[in-house]
Amino acid sequence: MSVSSRIPAAALPVPEDPGALPVWPASARPAPDGDVTVGGVSLAEAADRFGTPLYVLDEGEVRERCRAYRAAFPDADVVYAAKAFLCRAVARWVREEGLGLDVCSAGELGLAFGTGFPAERIVLHGNAKTPQDLASAVRLGVGRIVVDGLAEIARLAATVPRTDRQQVMVRVVPGVSAGGHPAVRTGTGDQKFGLSTADGSAQHAVARIVGQPHLDLVGLHCHIGSQISSVRPYLAAVRRMVGLMAQVRDQHGLVLPQLDIGGGHAIAYRPGERALDVRVLAERVRAELADGCAHARLPVPRLTIEPGRAVVGPAGVAVYRVLSVKHTQGRTFVAVDGGMGDNPRPALYGVRYAPRLIGRRSTAAPAPAAVVGRHCEAGDVLADRAMLPGDVRPGDLLAVPAAGAYQLSMASGYNMVGRPPVVAVRDGAVRLLVRRESLDDMSRRDVGL
């Protein structure tokens, strides 16, 4: 279903302080009545129309971030990591902005392919790809498949028709630890992803792929973690990957033309937090790669990067309605109509957000409160010690910026609370992208008595 309308926004001057809403989409403007507009659309009016919880995605912000990556990496393949958030509209936006797509399942692949996304610009990932994943990728002709385990090599080789050759890369664990939380550090050998250079499994995978007549090894891949705010770990990874590329040349006479260094670029979730500077990353990675290849007497491979969160995360705003306010044992609990069912990240990683009261202006002094969800878990806390006006009350609206990535993509059906809708905003217009999940939707899957 597609809904398009225009919600009028108050005529607002651009704030004199450009940092007034520093972790919000660039189009966000505070209104005199306490509301906030994004893409020229009133969040309070959008909440009234579409209900809450509601996810608002700024199309212009997504497109601008795609363009910023293309400008920073003009000679590289920029591939959007669909796991951050994927729907048909997002697939179309990144395709139109010239990005490729990184998918992790036959489901993500099928959705993208159904929108007309060129298969040759799609990369398939996954530490445990199913036979269906591999068969779909080969049948649809995806550009590259990233091999993540030794057992996958024979399985993939048996899937490729005898008349074809499938381009593959090997996911390498370079021994570089980086990321904002232990659960998202993927560059060391003590986790489930990739093949390690330390124990020789990466080198063994290369040798086995080279011996397969229907697999074409075109490069190496690594992904060292997520929410990385420093350039240094990427430079260390590049050095180690170039070293392995030199080994492949010396041992197999094969000069690999591609190098994929993954994504994991940090964004700011709260004012004052550090985001990764993409332009600095591009400059220093290019310099490191050129220097390393010169020393190893290798041609510089074509680079691939895989931003996901950094493209869609800052473009999203989640809007909730307050259901109750409870004062107990010196704490204030502000319960909203969403929670870990639509955003499990605080429970998984302990992340912190900066919710904001919208829809009315308050003169009450700010006070710390725990913004909690409606789900039956003590850990269902969206934002602990959030500074909110002391008079926050049931019926109020709270908006949470930087909500575009790894929230709805990891949403669940816990307590049979339907997943929220997603709307796109741009130039004062709002349209429905993903409708709210209903009880009927969930009931249809329950076919037995």
pLDDT tens profile 49-82: 999 999 999 999 999 999 999 999 999 999 999 9
Asked if pLDDT for residue 336 goes beyond 90, the answer is: yes
Write out pLDDT tens, residues 360-415.
999 999 999 999 999 999 999 999 999 999 999 999 999 999 999 999 999 999 99
For the chain, list the domains and their CATH numbers: 3-58+314-444 (2.40.37.10), 73-307 (3.20.20.10)
Write out pLDDT tens, residues 206-243.
999 999 999 999 999 999 988 999 999 999 999 999 99
| pLDDT band (50, 70, 90) for residue 16 | very low
Looking at residue 190, its pLDDT comes to 62
Distances (CA, A) of 150 to 123, 272, 325, 354: 19, 43, 53, 43
Write out pLDDT tens, residues 278-315.
999 999 999 999 999 999 999 999 999 999 999 999 99
Question: Average pLDDT over the chain, rounded to whole?
Answer: 92
Looking at residue 215, its pLDDT comes to 97
Looking at residue 187, its pLDDT comes to 44
For residue 92, what are the contacts with CB-CB under 8 A and spacing of at least 6? Answer: 115, 116
Asked if pLDDT for residue 182 goes beyond 90, the answer is: no
Looking at residue 13, its pLDDT comes to 30
| pLDDT band (50, 70, 90) for residue 276 | very high
Looking at residue 179, its pLDDT comes to 57
Distance CA 186, CA 122 (A): 22
The pTM is what?
0.92
Angle between helices 106-114 and 131-140 (to 10 degrees): 30
Element (H, E) at 183: none
Range of lowest pLDDT (19-33, 116-130, 179-193, 303-317): 179-193
> Residues 35-50: what's their mean pLDDT?
98
Element (H, E) at 159: helix 150-159
Range of lowest pLDDT (9-18, 207-216, 263-272, 398-407): 9-18
Share of the chain above pLDDT 70, in %: 92
| pLDDT band (50, 70, 90) for residue 10 | very low
Distance CA 384, CA 361 (A): 22
Active-site residue, from 66, 87, 293, 376: 376
Of residues 2 and 438, the one with the higher pLDDT is: 438
Distance of CA 444 to the CA centre of its chain: 29
Helices and strands (H, E) in the chain, number of each type: 12, 22
Asked if pLDDT for residue 18 goes beyond 50, the answer is: no
Share of the chain above pLDDT 90, in %: 86
Element (H, E) at 212: none
376 is a catalytic site residue: yes
Distances (CA, A) of 62 to 25, 42, 68, 80: 9, 19, 10, 11
